[in-house]
Amino acid sequence: MAASFEGLGYGLLNDVLGTMRSDEGYALPNRYEIEIGAPNAALSDSTPSGGGGGLLGVFSSFLPSGLAGIVGGTKTSGLRSIQLRAESVQLPGRNLSTTDDPNVYGPVRTVVDGVSFAEDINITFQCGSELQERKFFEKWQEEAFDKGTWNLKYYDNYKGSLSIYLLDKNDKRRYGLKCHEAYPKSVTGMDLNAAPATDIAKVTVVFVFRYWTALAIEDKGNSLISNMANTVIDHAERNLLRNVPSISKLF
């Protein structure tokens, strides 16, 4: 009996250690990717050939295939490059605002009276030699106002989206958030100095958004609890089968 429980213990320990060493283990903050959904207005003033001066036209010569990503719900062949240059990004949080409920006797009860998505998202991009990444977000900002009259444009002109995914060691998506009605609030300044030639110029873009939703990620396998349950069941089955007489002994 003692040996039986010892075998079960080793089996459960292997499940725990195996899970921590596999893709079901710890989340790694350095494995992520983003998807930028530029505003619909980006398609209205630029042409596939890059002849227009719009948002997509800025990147017409960046790659032979143009700018990749998702624009207006349509995948283009190029904004992927700028997305891969995201050096750091933040997963946004969510806040519940609360207030005290005075309509109860005894200790005060705190209830939720609202929800907010208050944090801005800072994304730092590594820049190419012509600062194409900075130009892209500058043009995006210009979808919000007229440079000649300073009149403001419609909200639908400049709102886009931003999706952030956490990846495992095999680059499979494990968790994702989509930030709705997002746009670049700030394109921060860039310090130019006598840094070593190996340093890379970077630009930080501050995104604001209205709210986020969790993205459905396909099932990646059994959980740790499920694996442990299977281990217990398998161990019990082995013990039962060990006590079943063989067919040769029955005849």
pTM of the model: 0.66
Residue 77 vs residues 54, 122, 147, 212: alpha-carbon distances, Å: 17, 25, 29, 26
Q: How confident is the model over 55-111, as pLDDT tens digits?
A: 555 544 443 333 333 333 434 444 778 888 999 998 999 999 999 998 878 888 999
Query: Which tens digit of pLDDT belongs to each residue from 165-198?
Result: 999 888 899 999 999 999 999 999 998 888 787 8
Eight-class DSSP state of 215: P
Q: Is 56 exposed, middle or buried (0-12, 13-18, 19+ CB in 10 A)?
A: buried
Helix pair angle (224-242, 2-21), 10° resolution:
150
User: Residue 152 above 90 pLDDT?
Assistant: yes
Residue 246 three-state SS: coil
- Residue ranges of domains in the chain: 1-24+221-251, 28-220
Q: What is the CATH number of domain 28-220?
A: 2.30.110
Cβ-based neighbours of 24, under 8 Å, separated by 6 or more: 220, 221, 223, 224
What's the chain's length in residues?
Answer: 251
Instruction: Answer yes or no: is pLDDT of 116 > 50.
Output: yes
The pLDDT, as a whole number, for residue 12 is 55
225: nearest Cα among 215, 233, 217, 237:
233
